Amino acid sequence: MSIAAINEQLLRAIGVGVALLDLETLRLRFCNDTFKEWFGDIEVGQHLTDLFAGFDTEALKAALAGEGRHTTETTFRLRRRTMTVALAFNRALESDEAIAVLVCQNISRIKELESMIDSYSMMVERNTREIKREKEQVEKLLLNMMPRSVYEEYKTFGIVTPRLYDPVAVLCLDFIGFAEMVTAHDPGVIVSELNDIYTAFDRIGEQFGCARIRAVGDFYIAMAGMPDPAEDFAQSAANAAVRFIRYLKQRNETHPIKWTCRIGIAAGPVVGSVVGVQKYIYDVFGAAVIHASRLRYFANPMCIVANRMMTEQLDDGFVALSQGKIELTDAEPEEVFRIEADVHAAEGT
């Protein structure tokens, strides 16, 4: 077999489409089997535009006359498959005839891969956005359950170190006759009322640095002086308490359901920690919590009762009236005080 014959056999069998074009006429002079397989039954002598409708022959001629090569792509259907073929024309000289070698590479797979990556990356991006949204919701939920600094610690280390906060002021509030109110009204009405009131309390608490830790039914508990220590923790709690009552009084004037609260405030130490394994919850406990909770039982309607330690921390903006001695714990009875805002000092607040 001659070299020329071997070359022709190779050209025919190769997986790349090869064709020779007469540059003068742009008619086909040769094409191999792969070329025929892709572009159908074609005859030697066919014009380039018969093969590729809308082919820009002027651009081809200009490019071949210039740098001698021209590349482009063509897309067509072969059976039901979308084929994309990259075409590379190279000028060649055969004795004195001007011809071009056309080499075609099947890049359909690359195009299919590109489509798949596009599709996949869009799915991943959408998922990422969803995960981000869910994460924000979880964060929002957790921030309702614990102070931000505690949440940050939990997020970073996966655990929360129990801490002793000393001193802080614990404010405990509940409503007189709550059980009867729940029975007397539609559950939706009660929940809506509590939402309204607790939202107002939260706003007041935020303003004065006395943040809610938790509300269970009609029992609302807030702390001042934690998680960050604050010198004016007692002022904060007393200011919030006075305004809780003021808010309720004003609200009662315009709302059909009248709410009457009582408040106990105690200063002292508390422990703050996340408690529980599966159903974990940020909790505070200790003497101040127990005392504040007990003190509220000694408060008259719409009044605030506090322990001595709390009262001693208050400035002239408040007056403390002794209420006698009570047993806050099993120890010796101790003096407790009713706290009121000093009328003169309260003006303008």
Partner 1 sequence: MLDVTKHRNIGDQTAPTGQKGVHLARTLFDKYGGFSVVSKIVLDLYDRLLDDDEVGPFFDDVEMARIVDHQTKFVSSLMGGPASYTDDQIEKMHARLTITNAHFDTLKGILCRTLLDHGVSEEDAETVVAGFEARRKLVVE
Which positions touch partner 1 (CB under 8 A)?
79-82, 108-109, 111-113, 115-116, 118-120, 123-124, 126-127, 154, 158-167, 225-227, 229-231, 233, 271, 273-277, 280, 309, 312-313
Shortest CB 66 distance to partner 1, Å: 34
Strand pairing partners for 61? Answer: none
Rounded distance, CA 303 to CA 337, Å? 11
State which residue, 146 or 171, has the beta carbon closest to partner 1: 146
State which residue, 115 or 329, has the beta carbon closest to partner 1: 115
In angstroms, the Cα distances linking 142 to 139, 148, 161 are 5, 9, 16
Q: Mind giving me the DSSP string for 121-186?
A: HHHHHHHHHHHHHHHHHHHHHHHHHS-HHHHHHHHHHSS---EEEEEEEEEEEEETTHHHHHHHS-
Shortest CB 134 distance to partner 1, Å: 13
The answer to whether 168 touches 224, Cβ cutoff 8 Å, is yes
State which residue, 216 or 277, has the beta carbon closest to partner 1: 277
Shortest CB 213 distance to partner 1, Å: 15
Strand pairing partners for 266? Answer: 170
Rounded distance, CA 294 to CA 221, Å? 12
State which residue, 68 or 162, has the beta carbon closest to partner 1: 162
Shortest CB 265 distance to partner 1, Å: 15
Shortest CB 25 distance to partner 1, Å: 34
> Taking the CB of residue 322, how many other CB atoms lie within 10 A of it?
11
Shortest CB 81 distance to partner 1, Å: 5
The answer to whether 256 touches 284, Cβ cutoff 8 Å, is no
State which residue, 154 or 259, has the beta carbon closest to partner 1: 154
Rounded distance, CA 272 to CA 150, Å? 9
State which residue, 20 or 223, has the beta carbon closest to partner 1: 223
